[in-house]
Structure 1
Amino acid sequence: MIIDGHQHFWKYNPVRDSWIDDSMQVIRRNFLPEDVLPHYQTNSIDGCIAVQADQSLEETDFLLGLAKTYSFIKGVVGWVDLCDNSVEESLAHYSTFNAFKGVRHILQAEHQDFMLSASFLHGIGKLEKYGLTYDILVFPNQLQAAKKLVKKFPNQFFVLDHLGKPYIKDGRILNWKKDLQELAQLPNVSCKVSGLVTEANWEKWTPDVFEPYLDVVFEAFGCDRLLFGSDWPVSNLAANFNEVLSIVKNYTATLTENERSKIMANNAIKFYKL
């Protein structure tokens, strides 16, 4: 069994999706469930977690609508305004949907102090009541702040997206490694093995460039707190779906079958309560 723990759907809007710049022409179009389904069928992937790419309630409603129509979408990580005074009303509403599993805010676009602001912390503090997870999307220079955030909520489950986006293209590893290892010491945070290819040189990457970073992550988090994610279709900027999957499959080839099953499916099932 394989669960894709991190991918996206969208109907491309040039204003809303302005983050898709001229260098990203390949993903300047709609990406919907019927587009990813052939990849899933070819690679025997049983389901996925659809993660928000836009910070709006319309995005959350859109993803939940897709999950209602397509049974292979096993869960949704949506967006609600965690800084809003009525955040608990929003969480109570969306928790009535079985597919609603967690929340994400695009922290990489915020000042690194944002996640430690009183209003944001107030919102994070409401997630546990509704059994919801939180996806941490940050750059390496925000990992220390992320550690402080996680420490404040020892009973809340967090997952770090894309290994904390290490500077693979530049070959930098030491500062990211130190901060990631410190974050991994907190038992309530997991990590997605995702987003690798887009942090490398899109045109010239080879599988071996990822090994030092994967070594760090696997040693820090262990096989019980790692989840595979394709980051499709963003991953199309640098690789096709099969290449992304092969990077993780090849790296984990020497693990036991039980360890591989955890990373490729079981940890996602447990973390998101699928």
Structure 2
Amino acid sequence: MLKIDSHQHFWLYHPVKDAWITDDLKAIQQDFLPADLSPILEQHGIGGCIAVQADQSEKETEFLVELARQHSFIKGVVGWVDLQSEDIEEQLARYNRQPIIKGFRHILQGEPDDRFMLGDQFQRGISLLHKYNFTYDILIKPQHLPYATELAGTFPQQRFVVDHMAKPLIKDQILDNWEQGIKDLAVHPNVYCKVSGLVTEADWHRHQPEDFKPYLNVVFEAFGIERLMFGSDWPVCNVAGGYDAAINTIRGYIGQFDKAGQEKFWAGNATAFYRL
């Protein structure tokens, strides 16, 4: 069965540029490049991946595009562009000439204002993505879900995907506000969800498959098998068991679905969403 990893990163580690990689994340304070990932994908029978931005710069987008040119298993790039820029449309038109760029992401979870995504300038940028056939990855935490729901409702033609299931508090086994927020967001049919980044939200050294089941139950019920996709969040997952842990967390759970459903989850939905 063909598999696509819908969410992973590459970087040349720099302590200033990558200040978010703090000392408790020492396992990823180093370079991670396609040559490191390729054998891991092959080991797990994964035929391609989506490289997602980790730095908010146009250089990051160019870096990922260049890696994709050199390595055919990188099927698409989710880059960064300043959506608040006055010349955002010109930038999108230029990026549209590079088919490997599938969409964009902003690190919303890092903004001091939880409502940042509802700002006029930011929304102006979002409003232009559909015109140029770009997707948008929503990187948020549970407290941002109401605003993401408003964003999705404002732009019903725009294809959105929420990264890492909006980072539920798995380590503390808290569902409450996150569960309702996910259900509200999933009402909008233009929103997909990545089943990714789970191990890093759990207890890094002692997580068990049953820790994730309540959260998986919520997203599979809310979005359905048709709007969910697998993502490893490699190499970030290396702090909590690595690629094996990231994929094994979901492999047992997904076995309850029929072959057609599994094919959608592992590859079909990502292929359709990102138009690979």
TM range (shorter): over 0.9
Count of aligned pairs between the two proteins: 274
Q: Is the Cα–Cα contact under 8 Å of residues 199 and 245 in structure 2 kept in the other structure? A: no
Deviation at 1:14? 0.5
Q: Within the alignment, does 1:165 sit opposite 2:167 as a pair?
A: yes
Find the counterpart in structure 1 of residue 33 from structure 2. Answer: 32
Question: How many Å separate the matches in 1 of 2:256 and 2:171?
Answer: 26
Q: Which deviates the most, 108-117 or 55-64?
A: 108-117
Q: Which runs of 5+ in 1 are unaligned?
A: none
Q: What amino acid sits opposite 2:148 in the alignment?
A: A
Question: How many Å separate the matches in 2 of 1:253 and 1:50?
Answer: 26
**RMSD of the alignment, in Å?**
0.6
Q: What amino acid sits opposite 1:4 in the alignment?
A: D
Q: Is the Cα–Cα contact under 8 Å of residues 11 and 32 in structure 2 kept in the other structure? A: yes
- State the TM-score, normalizing by the size of structure 2: 0.98
Question: How many Å separate the matches in 2 of 1:240 and 1:22?
Answer: 17
Deviation at 1:113? 1.4
Find the counterpart in structure 1 of residue 219 from structure 2. Answer: 217
Deviation at 1:244? 1.2
Find the counterpart in structure 2 of residue 121 from structure 1. Answer: 123
Deviation at 1:207? 1.1
Deviation at 1:98? 1.3
Question: How many Å separate the matches in 1 of 2:160 and 2:74?
Answer: 20
Find the counterpart in structure 2 of residue 4 from structure 1. Answer: 5
Q: What amino acid sits opposite 1:40 in the alignment?
A: L
SS in 1 for 2:226: coil
- State the TM-score, normalizing by the size of structure 1: 0.99
Q: What amino acid sits opposite 1:138 in the alignment?
A: I
Question: How many Å separate the matches in 2 of 1:114 and 1:243?
Answer: 33
Taking the TM superposition and a 5 Å limit, the aligned residue runs for 1:185-264 are: 185-264=187-266
Q: Which runs of 5+ in 2 are unaligned?
A: none
Question: How many Å separate the matches in 2 of 1:96 and 1:245?
Answer: 34
- CA deviations on 1:103-136 (whole Å, 9 max, x unpaired) are 0000000111110000000000010000000000
Q: What amino acid sits opposite 1:90 in the alignment?
A: Q
- CA deviations on 1:53-106 (whole Å, 9 max, x unpaired) are 000000000000001110000000000000010111111111111100000000
Deviation at 1:265? 0.3
Q: Within the alignment, does 1:52 sit opposite 2:68 as a pair?
A: no
Taking the TM superposition and a 5 Å limit, the aligned residue runs for 1:56-205 are: 56-110=57-111, 111-205=113-207
Q: What amino acid sits opposite 2:133 in the alignment?
A: G
Deviation at 1:176? 0.4
Question: How many Å separate the matches in 1 of 2:227 and 2:33?
Answer: 29
SS in 2 for 1:127: helix
Q: Within the alignment, does 1:273 sit opposite 2:271 as a pair?
A: no
Identical counterparts, % of pairs: 51
Question: How many Å separate the matches in 2 of 1:259 and 1:239?
Answer: 27
Q: What amino acid sits opposite 2:65 in the alignment?
A: L
Question: How many Å separate the matches in 2 of 1:244 and 1:121?
Answer: 33
Q: What amino acid sits opposite 1:119 in the alignment?
A: Q
Deviation at 1:243? 2.0
Question: How many Å separate the matches in 2 of 1:62 and 1:240?
Answer: 24
* Runs of at least 4 residues off by over 4 Å: none
SS in 2 for 1:19: coil
